[in-house]
């Protein structure tokens, strides 16, 4: 039965990939759900309706999401949760805050995550955590924004350009995702710059279980490429942990390779290191000299992890 189901899904993907909104295809649902289709039978349509209603609210939010007040009108209790929801706010420093709001639905849940200053949203993310069968069969008819597969979730990202420009005019540079023909470099930059990642604010905002292989692999790419300019940009990341990680890395490279850090670079790094104790949880000392409870703490061989094949 399992194989018959899979063949049916492949057929649906090749024969009927166009949905009414053309925003959810079988291909990205399968990719984001790892082929898992554990939905109780028969499907309770009242549960499905709960998920659909939440997605309809996201459609509204997509059209008017310039401020926290806009979110509050559609999802009450965004900052201080009420009812069947959960909300966590982090102080990112440099006049930035980040809030993740989870509104539970029927078969899944909806996350609304926002990076903002004052009341103005710089970046907003919707994450739909729902069984693939529900997402494809029901939600695809109501979603009105383009979804992509990110960190095993169906995700929609939006940067409010006007608010971003206003922030930078008031408070200085802020590194978000970059457009780059080098996809590897873009992936690295996006990883260390993004505070709203799939399961919100965990990677790289708080590296919860020490620094793992993907983090080393990504930052090593910039080091081996000798892309010092990219590393300098990342000290303006909205992610406190990413800023601290990059600041310590730059100081280490400066010591070992005699790279040039100008007065502005050093001033920013000094600010980051001075305020590092304000970061709660995650990796405080980062990856130079101390690695928490990782294997790297035992070997203490920083240079080994800069090597590549």
pLDDT in tens, 114-140: 999 999 999 999 988 888 888 888 888
Q: Say if residues 55 and 128 touch (Cβ distance below 8 Å).
A: yes
Nearest-10 crossing angle of helices 240-257, 183-193? 120
pLDDT confidence bin for 236, thresholds 50/70/90: very high
Q: In this predicted model, which residue has the larger pLDDT, 67 or 128?
A: 67
Indicate whether 16 pLDDT > 50: no
pLDDT score for 287: 43
pLDDT score for 37: 59
Give the residue-averaged pLDDT of 263-282. Answer: 76
How many Cβ atoms sit within 10 Å of the Cβ of residue 267? 11
Q: In this predicted model, which residue has the larger pLDDT, 291 or 69?
A: 69
Give the residue-averaged pLDDT of 216-241. Answer: 86
pLDDT score for 303: 56
Give the residue-averaged pLDDT of 41-48. Answer: 86
Q: In this predicted model, which residue has the larger pLDDT, 73 or 202?
A: 73
As given in the structure block, the two tokens for residue 175 are 């590194």
**Which of 7-11, 98-102, 121-125 is predicted most confidently?**
121-125
Indicate whether 34 pLDDT > 70: no
Give the residue-averaged pLDDT of 229-241. Answer: 89
pLDDT confidence bin for 178, thresholds 50/70/90: confident
Indicate whether 166 pLDDT > 80: yes
pLDDT score for 293: 39
What is the rounded distance in angstroms from the CA atom of residue 222 to the CA atom of residue 229?
A: 9
pLDDT score for 226: 85
Q: In this predicted model, which residue has the larger pLDDT, 115 or 33?
A: 115
Give the residue-averaged pLDDT of 31-51. Answer: 77
Give the residue-averaged pLDDT of 168-188. Answer: 88
Alpha-carbon distance values, 17 to 49, 241, 284 (Å): 23, 40, 46
Indicate whether 19 pLDDT > 50: no
Total residue length of the chain: 309
Report the candidate in 29, 309, 299, 307 with the shortest Cα–Cα distance to residue 155.
29
Contacts of 199 (CB under 8 A, 6+ apart): 151, 153
Indicate whether 243 pLDDT > 90: no
pLDDT confidence bin for 205, thresholds 50/70/90: very low
Percent of the chain with pLDDT over 70: 71
Indicate whether 202 pLDDT > 50: no
pLDDT score for 4: 40
pLDDT score for 298: 47
Counting Cα atoms < 13 Å in the Cβ hemisphere of 290 gives 7
Choice among 14-28, 170-184, 190-204 with the minimum mean pLDDT: 14-28
Which DSSP symbol is given to 108?
A: S
The predicted-structure confidence for 247-265, as pLDDT tens digits, reads as follows 888 888 888 787 889 999 9
As given in the structure block, the two tokens for residue 127 are 């994450």
| Mean pLDDT for the chain overall | 76
């Amino acid at each position: 039965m399992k194989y018959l189901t899979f063949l049916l899904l492949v057929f649906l993907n090749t024969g009927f990939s166009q949905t009414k909104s053309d925003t959810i295809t079988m291909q990205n649902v399968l990719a984001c759900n790892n082929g898992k289709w554990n939905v109780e039978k028969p499907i309770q349509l009242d549960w499905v309706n709960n998920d659909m209603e939440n997605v309809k609210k996201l459609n509204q939010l997509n059209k008017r999401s310039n401020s926290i007040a806009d979110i509050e009108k559609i999802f009450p209790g965004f900052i201080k949760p009420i009812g069947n929801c959960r909300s966590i706010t982090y102080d990112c420093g440099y006049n930035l805050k980040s809030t993740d709001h989870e509104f539970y639905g029927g078969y899944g849940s909806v996350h609304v995550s926002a990076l903002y200053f004052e009341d103005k949203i710089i970046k907003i993310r919707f994450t739909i955590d729902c069984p693939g069968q529900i997402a494809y069969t029901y939600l695809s008819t109501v979603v009105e924004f383009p979804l992509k597969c990110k960190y095993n979730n169906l995700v929609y990202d939006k940067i409010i350009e006007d608010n971003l420009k206003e922030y930078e005019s008031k408070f200085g540079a802020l590194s978000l995702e970059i457009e780059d023909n080098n996809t590897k470099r873009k992936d690295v930059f996006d990883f260390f710059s993004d505070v709203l990642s799939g399961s919100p604010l965990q990677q790289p905002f708080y590296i919860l279980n020490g620094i793992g292989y993907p983090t080393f692999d990504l930052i090593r790419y910039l080091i081996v490429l000798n892309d010092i300019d990219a590393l300098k940009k990342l000290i303006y990341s909205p992610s406190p942990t990413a800023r601290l990680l990059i600041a310590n890395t730059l100081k280490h490279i400066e010591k070992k390779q005699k790279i040039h850090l100008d007065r502005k670079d050093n001033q920013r790094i000094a600010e980051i290191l001075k305020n590092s104790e304000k970061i709660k949880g995650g990796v405080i000392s980062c990856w130079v000299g101390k690695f928490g409870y990782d294997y790297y703490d035992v070997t203490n061989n920083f240079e080994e992890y800069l090597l590549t094949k």
